[in-house]
Amino acid sequence: MSAVVGIHAASPPALPLLADADVSRILAWREDKAVSAGQFLAEVGALAARLPSARHVVNLCDDRYRFIVSFCAAAVAGQSNLLPGTRTPQAIAETLDAYPDSYVLAERTLDPAPARQFLLPETLHGGTAAMPALPPDRVVAIAFTSGSTGVPKANAKTWGAVCASSALNAGAVCANGASNIVATVPPQHMYGLELSVLLPLRSRAAIHSGHPFFPADIARALAQVPAPRVLVTTPHHLRALLRSGTDLPALTAIVSATAPLDAQLASAAETRYATRVIELFGSTETCVIAERRATRDEPWKLYPGVSLHPQPDGTLVDARYFPTPTLLHDIVELLPPGRFRLCGRNGDLLEIAGKRASLGDLNHRLLAIPGVNDGVVFQLDADAGGVRRLAALVVAPGMAAGKIVDALRAGVDPVFLPRPLKIIAALPRNAAGKLPRAALLEALRRA
C-alpha cells in the first residue's frame, strides 16, 4: 500500500513594517521635534487596537505623520486604505458607497459629516514598540487615478509590491544614505504615498509631517529638518519657488514628478539651489518605474527589473512585483541598455485636418511665452461634426488673450491654435498639481 503525500508551496514570508529594525532612528519630524521609530511603532500598535471593524478606510489625515500612523495601523488591522483622488464631500460619499464596508478616518469632524467616521485621537498611548509584519499579498492601499483623462480608476497595492517598489525608490532618491524629506504633495496621492509615506517605512529616510504649499512655507519646513535634505515636489511648485525668489536651506536633491519637467526649469532650479534635480516617471497603476537627471533632457533610465513592451495603443510595463503587466498610454522609444525616450501619450497625439501635433509640445510652447505664469492646452469633446477643437486656460496677469494666440501662431499651425483661449486667475489644480479633466471643463465654462 502506498501513501500519497500532498506537497504545498510555502507561503512567502511576512515583511516587517519597517525595513530598518533600529527603533532609535528618527522616522519623522513634527516641525523641529524628532519622532523615533520606536515611538511610531507604539502609536501604530495603540491605534490598530482601537480602529473600527471594517475592510476599508478612507484616510483623510492632513498631518503627514498622523497619516502614516493611521495608514500603518489600518494595514496592521487588516484594512485597506482608500485614497480617492479628491476629498470633496461628493467624492468621499461616492467612495463610501462603492466600498460599503468602509469608514472615514480624519483628525477632525468633517462638514458635512460622512455617514461613517472615526476621529483620530489627539494622543495615542498604551502601545509597545513591537515590530508588526504583514503578508506580502495583503492589500494595504487602493489608489485612484487623478481623472486627468477621464473617470478615476481603482488600483490595489499589496504590501509586497509597495515594499519592492520602495526599495527601488530608495536607491534613486536616498543613494547616499539617510535623508530628511519635505514633500509638497499630499500623502493620499500615489507619488506622495511612495515618496513621503512608504519611503520612510522602507529606508532610513525621515519625513517632515507638514504639507507646505507656498514658497515661504516650503522654506520654513526645510529649515526645521537637518541636512541632508530632499525636497519632493512638482513642476508647478518648483516654478512658483523660482518665481518667488525664496531662499532655501542646502538641498541634497530636488525630486519632481506628476507632470513633465522642462529642462530649462530644472536647470534654473539646480543653479538657484546648488543641487541636482531628479525627475521620476511612473503612474498610479505602476508606481515609479524610471528616473533621469532632468537638466540634461536625457533618456529615462528604467528601474532594475522593469521592462517595457511597446504596443499599438501604448506601452506594456512589467516587473517581477507586478501581479500582471500593465498598459500605459505613453508612447516610448526603447534605447539600450535599459533606457527609453518618451514620445508623448497616446491621447496627446492630435490629428486635425490631416495634420499632426502633440499636446505636450503645445503646452511647452504656451508656457515658454513671456508673461505666462501657468497654462494648459487641452482637447474638447467632439462637436456635432465630430471635430475635437482645442481650448486653453492661461494664467497671465495683464496680458490679453489675443497677444498669447499671436505668440503661439509664430510656431504653431493655425489648425492647432486653441479656440477659445481664456485668461483666468488660477488653474484648477488638485493637491498634487494635476488638472482633472472635469475641473478644466468647468473652469472653461465659468471663464
Residues 6+ apart with CB under 8 A from 356: 349, 350
Q: Which residue has the higher pLDDT, 344 or 329?
A: 329
Residues 428 and 396 in one domain: yes
- Confidence category of residue 169, pLDDT binned at 50, 70, 90: very high
Q: What is the pLDDT of the chain when averaged over all its residues?
A: 90
Task: Write down the number of H helices and E strands in the chain.
Answer: 12, 27
- Contact assessment for residue 447 and residue 421, using Cβ atoms and an 8 Å cutoff: no
Alpha helices in 324-409 (DSSP H): 359-367, 401-409
275 and 382 part of one domain: no
Q: What average pLDDT does the segment 396-421 reach?
A: 91
Question: Do the Cβ atoms of 317 and 328 come closer than 8 Å?
Answer: yes
- What does the pLDDT read at residue 147? 57
CATH number at residue 432: 3.30.300.30
Would the pLDDT of 140 be above 70? yes
Domain annotation covers residue 2: no
Q: Which structural domain, as residue segments, surrounds residue 54?
A: 16-298
Q: What is the mean pLDDT of residues 198-202?
A: 97
Identify whether residues 316 and 221 lie together within a single domain.
Answer: no
Question: What does the pLDDT read at residue 56?
Answer: 97
Q: What is the mean pLDDT of residues 405-410?
A: 91
Residues 23 and 66 in one domain: yes
Q: Is the per-residue pLDDT at 348 higher than 50?
A: yes
pLDDT at residue 207 greater than cutoff 80: yes
d(CA 164, CA 19): 11
pLDDT digits (tens, 9 = 90+) for 350-399: 767 666 777 888 988 899 899 999 999 998 887 766 668 899 999 999 99
Average pLDDT on 142-167 reads 85
Q: Quick check: is 1 in a domain? A: no
In this prediction, residue 75 carries a pLDDT of 98
Same domain, 266 and 379: no
What burial class does residue 122 get, using C-beta atoms within 10 Å of its C-beta: 0-12 exposed, 13-18 middle, 19+ buried? exposed
- Sorting pLDDT into bands at 50, 70 and 90, what band is 402? very high
What's the whole-number mean pLDDT along residues 169-184? 89
Q: How far apart are CA 230 and CA 207, in angstroms?
A: 10
Residue 1 has pLDDT above 60, yes or no: no
pLDDT of 163 reads 97
pLDDT of residue 260: 86
% of the chain at pLDDT higher than 90: 68
Report the pLDDT value the prediction gives residue 148, as an integer from 0 to 100: 55
Q: Give the C-alpha distances (Å, rounded to integers) separating 391 from 24, 201, 379.
A: 54, 43, 6
Q: What pLDDT does residue 2 have?
A: 44
Q: Are residues 118 and 173 in the same domain?
A: yes
Average pLDDT score over residue span 409-425: 90
Residue 114, preceding bond cis, omega within 30 degrees?
no
Query: Region 167-195: what's the mean pLDDT?
Result: 91
In a domain, 8, yes or no: no
Q: Tens digits of per-residue pLDDT, 285-300?
A: 999 999 999 887 689 9
Write the single-letter amino acid at 52.
P
325 lies in the same domain as 362 = no
Average pLDDT over residues 394-405: 94
- pLDDT bracket for residue 118 (50, 70, 90): very high
pTM of the model: 0.85
E strands of 312-380, at which residues?
Answer: 314-318, 326-328, 330-335, 339-345, 349-352, 355-358, 374-379
Are residues 315 and 384 both part of a single domain? no
Q: Kindly tell me if the per-residue pLDDT of 10 is higher than 70.
A: no
Note whether residue 4 is domain-resident. no
Task: Give the number of C-alpha atoms closer than 13 A to the C-alpha of residue 142, restricted to the C-beta side.
Answer: 16
Number of domains the chain contains: 3
The grid coordinates listed for 386 are 465630430
In a domain, 6, yes or no: no
In a domain, 368, yes or no: yes
pLDDT at 346 over 80: no
Q: Are 363 and 441 contained in the same domain?
A: yes
Are 287 and 359 contained in the same domain?
no
Task: Specify the 3-state DSSP secondary structure of 101.
Answer: coil
* 272 in the same domain as 335: no
Where does the pLDDT of residue 273 fall: very low under 50, low under 70, confident under 90, or very high at 90 and above?
Answer: very high
Kindly report, residue by residue over 14-69, the tens digit of the pLDDT: 999 999 999 999 999 998 899 999 999 999 999 999 999 999 999 999 999 999 99
Residue 130 has pLDDT above 80, yes or no: yes
Kindly state the cell numbers that stand for 223.
Answer: 529649515
For every residue of 15-41, DSSP letters joined together read: EESSSS--TTSEEEEETTEEEEHHHHH
- When mean pLDDT is compared across 85-99, 184-198, 253-267, 300-314, the lowest value belongs to 85-99
Q: What is the CATH number of the domain that holds 29?
A: 3.40.50.12780
Whether 115 maps to a domain, the answer reads: yes
pLDDT band at 345 (very low <50, low <70, confident <90, very high): confident
Calpha distance 299→334 (Å, rounded): 9
Q: Which of 343, 369, 399 is the last residue of a domain?
A: 343
**Does residue 120 carry a pLDDT above 90?**
yes
Would 10 be classed as within a structural domain? no
Per-residue pLDDT band for 9 (boundaries 50, 70, 90) equals: low
Let me know whether 367 and 228 are in one domain.
Answer: no
C-alpha cell at 192: 506622495
